[in-house]
Structure formats: C-alpha cells, structure tokens
Amino acid sequence: MAYSFKYRALFLRRSMDVNRIANRARKSISTFCIEECKAYCCRKGHLVVKENEINKVTQGRKNELIAEGKLKPIIGGKYSLYIGDEDNACPSLKGNKCLIHKSRLRPKTCGDFPIYIVDKTVMISGSCTAARAGMFYPYIKKFMKLGYKVSEGSGLLNSDFYKVAE
C-alpha cells in the first residue's frame, strides 16, 4: 500500500512539474509569436474544436463557415476549422492577436500549442516557428530530465486526429 501511494505521489509531482515547464516554455515565446512569427499557427492548417467552443472561435459564424466548407465535423463530435492561409486565418485573430486568448472557451488546443503532453511523451509541433528556431532547447532538456520522451515534428498530421466524420 505505502509503495503505491509513494509512486502515485511521485507521478503527480512529475505531472505538475512537466506542466509547469510546458507553461513556462509557452510563455517564453509569447512576444516572439506576436512580433516575429505573426501568429503563424493561427493561419496555417486546421484547428480542432469542441462543440462548446465553436461559436466563440468562429465569432458566431458557424453556419457560414460550414456552408463555405471551412468547418467540418470530425470523429468524436468535434469540428475541424480550416485556417490554411492569410485569407482563412482563425476568425478569432485580429492582426496578430487573439480576441479570445483569455476566454475560458478558448480551445485547449490553442492554449497547449505548440507543446502537447500525452502520457510520458512531450510533443512539440513542427509547425511552430519558435520550435523550428530552437527556442525550446532548454525546456527539452528539462522534460528529458523528468523522464519524458520528446517528439518534435508534425506526426499529428498523418494521424486520425483530422479524419472527417462520415
């Protein structure tokens, strides 16, 4: 009994530590995101959103974006919002700043970007210009010291994550 409690306490402490490191890493690039990369992540690819996040993210344009084919249902009751170029940036982006950055309805995907923690793996998005510039190197070392595997790149793009619902 004491062993499992001790192991659980260690696991919880490491989980808090990895999340704290990830949050520091994300915060460390905030000025870079606005001034240097110009919120590239909000203008490229697809954003996966939950049903309760759609109206906030689309600024009330859900039906319009569905009709235009830019918002599509995907597996798991979620939606994929196309934000693939300058003309189709995230509807919540004004200039280089997010209108819903401090909202509780901001998608978790946005808040976690570009660092995602899944089990004992820290995934860093290959589409993040700060990651490509090596700005997370000091944090990668810390993740690894905690025993986490670090995966960099765009492996999510080839997964079922974006598979459109039939």
Please say whether the beta carbons of 59 and 93 come within 8 A: no
Please say whether the beta carbons of 59 and 100 come within 8 A: no
Highest mean pLDDT among 12-16, 17-21, 86-90, 94-98: 17-21
What pLDDT is stored for residue 1 in this prediction? 47
Residue 91 banded pLDDT, cuts 50, 70, 90: very high
> How large is the average pLDDT for residues 61-75?
93
Specify the pairing of strand 93-94 against strand 78-82: unpaired
Tokens in use for 57? 């993210």
Q: What are 22-49's pLDDT values in tens digits? A: 999 999 998 898 888 888 888 888 888 8
Stated pTM of the model: 0.75
What pLDDT is stored for residue 117 in this prediction? 93
Residue 160 banded pLDDT, cuts 50, 70, 90: very low
CA distances from 14 to 1, 11, 28, 149, 151 (A): 20, 5, 21, 13, 18
> How large is the average pLDDT for residues 85-96?
85
User: Going by CATH, does the domain composed of 1-30+114-155 fall within 3.30.70?
Assistant: yes
Largest Cα separation within the chain, whole Å, is 58
